[in-house]
Chain A
Amino acid sequence: MASVEDLQKKIKELEQALEEEKQKNRQGAVRQKISEMSSEVVDSNPYSRLMALKRMGIVDNYEKIRDYTVAVVGVGGVGSVTAEMLTRCGIGKLLLFDYDKVELANMNRLFYQPHQAGLSKVEAAERTLKEINPDVIFETYNYNITTMDNFNHFMKRITEGGLTEGKPVDLVLSCVDNFEARMTINTACNEVGQTWIESGVSENAVSGHIQFVIPGETACFACAPPLVVATKTDEKTLKREGVCAASLPTTMAVVAGFLVQNTLKYLLEFGDVTHYLGYNALQDFFPTMSMKPNENCDDTYCCKQQKLYKEREAKKPKVVKEEPKEEEVIHEDNPFEIELVSETSVEESQASEGQVPELTEGLRVAYSVPAPEQGDLGNNVVETDSTSLDELMKQMKSL
């Protein structure tokens, strides 16, 4: 049993600890809104180091960043860091989309904190980001963009959610972690002609990429099978026993850095925006390339955008300039370095493997897709009959 004296001493200690905590909170004064970006170098100006980019001649007009709206789709390991970077850079408006919740299993990545577990990612992100920079306007949506209802709403916000309501956003950043969501973003952006940047980290966490897509002008996500940054691990020995995916905060932060760097270059018009930039973390190799769209792209809106782009280009006055050598996605004359050993002709092998884009060293396609078959599918095909959908639904239920 502790004496009264001991207890009084204990209370004193606790009171002091409490006072210290209170003091800390008072010190953490809330950052007030700033109406205009200033270049003044004082310790209270959060934009001084960014505005210095102007003085150094890197960026002509840094404060223009406030006029731009970026949509970040997926605020997980890559997207949350991306959103934080843009917030700290003073972006005008951010739209955040994600249907997931913060979990303790995410704590190997940056940004989210254990006390946020259970909150929706977009809500947790908005709270933190607003505290970092209250000048940024936020719009958050806690839903899955791949389903019908949400997709329509998503498209509407991309086309109308700009800084001035009714105007489109300036750029969409894909920070999702799966093929379905990427294709969904691709579908939406092709349809409305929205420029976007795709990003990704491999499931084994040791490679990543970004891909800049201007519908009609550069290859879209459906123009070719997904690209893989080849690391010198034998893919066949990749063990997936017991897990779906691994992740490293390092790889994700590198990819987020690439993504936002190119976002800034695109929006503020400095440097060159890379069309495809890969990251092989095992060998520290960074393949880059440009890709033209596939004329036979599976996405009909991609083909429409290609036509529109050509029309726009034709109208432009001819300027004589050195065209940078771009590699075609589809290379018909010399397909993908196949050694012709047997009697298989180039045409035959191409038909069985499908068209494969010509890629720079260090990249390959995840898989190839055969050229579409003409007509005959064989015997085992559903028969076209007059049974109504209701009838079929009933049949299915009664099985």
Chain B
Amino acid sequence: MVDEATKRSLAQIPLLKTKAGPRDGEIWVGRLKEEYQSLIKYVQNNKEADNDWFRLESNKEGTRWFGKCWYIHELLKYEFDVEFDIPVTYPTTAPEIALPELDGKTAKMYRGGKICMTDHFKPLWARNVPKFGIAHAMALGLGPWLAVEIPDLIEKGIVTHKDNTAGAGE
């Protein structure tokens, strides 16, 4: 199941109220505001807990999201581009988060670098429509994925540290 740390940080992410997707016009703008509020709070929580690990931004329609996520392994920071689209069926279906530069480097990915969610993710998401938003998808999907896959990829030498990225102490 979901580990304790994830559960705790998940519980602190504000839930959303509006059930609306990108085809819903004005109500989607309302949902988008909630997404940003929830994400801002989550990033602030992470900073306070000394566990800041991603930044995201979107196009003005809020349909395409992009940014960076990073993972600290043995005091070195490994940074990756993140991107995803908001599907027309959102929030009934979760966004498919992708790390394009790792595409083809691990079997725990679908084409295009979309990360493989655990078996628990989909039921949990389905049970929490429309309360879960992008911040929850990051916390439940990408966070645990990085924690399992990145150390493994580093160990196998598939991911190496880039000297131009700043270290953990930045």
Residues of A within 8 A of B (CB): 100-101, 103, 144, 146-148, 151, 178-180, 183-184, 187, 222, 225, 240, 242-245, 298, 366-367, 369-370, 377-378, 380-385, 387, 389, 392-393, 395-397, 399
Judge whether A399 and B107 touch: CB under 8 Å: no
- Sample of 20 more A-B contacts, CB < 8 Å, known A380-B11, A382-B41, A399-B47: A146-B88, A148-B22, A178-B96, A178-B110, A180-B93, A222-B92, A242-B108, A298-B92, A367-B126, A377-B17, A380-B12, A380-B14, A380-B15, A382-B34, A382-B38, A389-B29, A396-B40, A396-B43, A396-B57, A399-B44
Contact between chains at A187 and B88 (CB < 8 Å): yes
CB distance from B38 to the nearest CB of A (A): 5
Across the interface, do A148 and B23 meet the contact criterion of CB distance under 8 Å?
Answer: yes
Q: List 16 A-B contacts (CB under 8 A).
A: A101-B111, A148-B61, A151-B23, A180-B87, A184-B89, A222-B92, A225-B126, A370-B127, A381-B17, A382-B37, A382-B41, A392-B33, A393-B36, A393-B60, A396-B56, A399-B43
Across the interface, do A244 and B109 meet the contact criterion of CB distance under 8 Å?
yes
Cβ-defined contact, B87 with A393, below 8 A: no
Q: Which residues of A contact B39 (CB under 8 A)?
A: 396
- Chain A residues with Cβ below 8 Å from B131 are 377
B123 adjacent to chain A (CB < 8 Å): yes
| Shortest 10 CB-CB contacts between residues of A and residues of B | A367-B123, A392-B36, A244-B116, A146-B87, A183-B89, A382-B37, A180-B93, A382-B14, A151-B88, A243-B107
Candidates B34, B57, B107, B111; contact of A393 at CB < 8 Å: B57
Is the pair B126, A377 in contact by a Cβ cutoff of 8 Å?
A: no
Nearest CB of B to A379, in Å:
9
Chain B residues within 8 Å of A397, by CB = 57
Given contacts A382-B16, A397-B57, contact A240 B119 (CB under 8 A): yes
Establish whether residues B89 and A187, one from each chain, have CB atoms under 8 Å apart when the complex forms. Answer: yes
Measured CB to CB, the closest approach of chain B to A86, in angstroms, equals 24
A59 to chain B, nearest CB (A): 37
Is B7's CB within 8 Å of the partner chain A?
no
B96 touches A180 (CB 8 A): yes
The reply to whether B15 and A382 contact each other, CB–CB distance below 8 Å, is: yes
Query: How far does the Cβ of B6 sit from chain A's closest Cβ, in whole Å?
Result: 16
Contact B123 A366 (CB under 8 A): yes
| Of the residues A101, A243, A395, contact of B108 by C-beta under 8 Å | A243
* A343-B55 Cα distance, complex, nearest whole Å: 48
B122 A367 Cβ-Cβ under 8 A: yes
Chain B residues within 8 Å of A396, by CB:
36, 39-40, 43, 56-57
Residue of B nearest to A365 (CB): B123
Are the CB atoms of B119 and A381 closer together than 8 Å? no
Q: How far is the CA of A184 from the CA of B40 in the complex (A)?
A: 29
Task: Please report the total number of B residues contacting A with Cβ < 8 Å.
Answer: 52
CA distance A298 to B93 in the complex (A): 12
From residue 79 to 115 of chain B, which have CB atoms closer than 8 A to chain A?
85-89, 92-94, 96, 107-111
Contact B85 A147 (CB under 8 A): yes
A399: B residues at CB distance < 8 A:
40, 43-44, 47, 55
Task: Chain A residues near B58: list those with CB within 8 A.
Answer: 393
**Cβ contacts under 8 Å, B47 to chain A:** 399
B32 within 8 A of A: yes
| Residues in B1-37 with C-beta less than 8 Å from chain A | 11-17, 22-23, 29, 32-34, 36-37
Q: Determine the residue in chain B with the shortest Cβ distance to A180.
A: B93
Chain A residues in 8 Å Cβ range of B109: 244
Q: Is the CB of A369 within 8 A of B126?
A: yes
Chain A: minimal CB distance from B85 (Å): 5
Report how far A384 CA is from B16 CA in the complex, Å: 10
Q: How far does the Cβ of B14 sit from chain A's closest Cβ, in whole Å? A: 4
Closest to B16 in A: A382
Q: What's the Cα separation between A146 and B63 when bound, in Å? A: 11
Are A180 and B89 in contact (CB-based, < 8 A)?
yes
Closest Cβ–Cβ distance, residue B147 to chain A (whole Å): 15
Nearest neighbor of A101 in chain B, beta-carbon distance: B111
A387, B33: Cβ atoms closer than 8 Å: yes
A366 touches B108 (CB 8 A): no
| Chain B residues whose CB sits within 8 angstroms of the CB of A151 once the complex forms | 23, 88
Docked complex Cα distance between A225 and B93 (Å): 12
Are A367 and B92 interface neighbours, CB within 8 A? no
Which among A100, A146, A178 has the greatest number of chain B C-beta atoms within 10 A?
A: A146
User: Assuming A180-B89, A180-B93, is B111 touching A100 (CB within 8 A)?
Assistant: yes
Q: In the complex, which of the residues A298, A384, A389, A395 has the most CB atoms of chain B within 10 Å of its own CB atom? A: A389
Which A residue's beta carbon lies closest to that of B116?
A244
When distances are taken between beta carbons in the complex, the residues of chain B under 8 Å from A242 are 107-108
Enumerate chain A residues within 8 angstroms of B23, measured Cβ to Cβ.
148, 151
Q: How far is the CA of A368 from the CA of B39 in the complex (A)?
A: 28
Given contacts A180-B89, A184-B88, contact A367 B12 (CB under 8 A): no
Q: Given contacts A387-B33, A389-B36, is CB(A381)–CB(B15) below 8 Å?
A: yes
Known pairs A147-B63, A148-B22; A184 contacts B87 (CB<8 A) = yes
A196 to B118, CA, bound (A): 29
With both beta carbons as reference points, the residue of chain A lying nearest to B30 in the complex is identified as A384
Chain A residue contacts of B108, Cβ below 8 A: 242-244
Most buried by A among B89, B92, B122, B126: B89
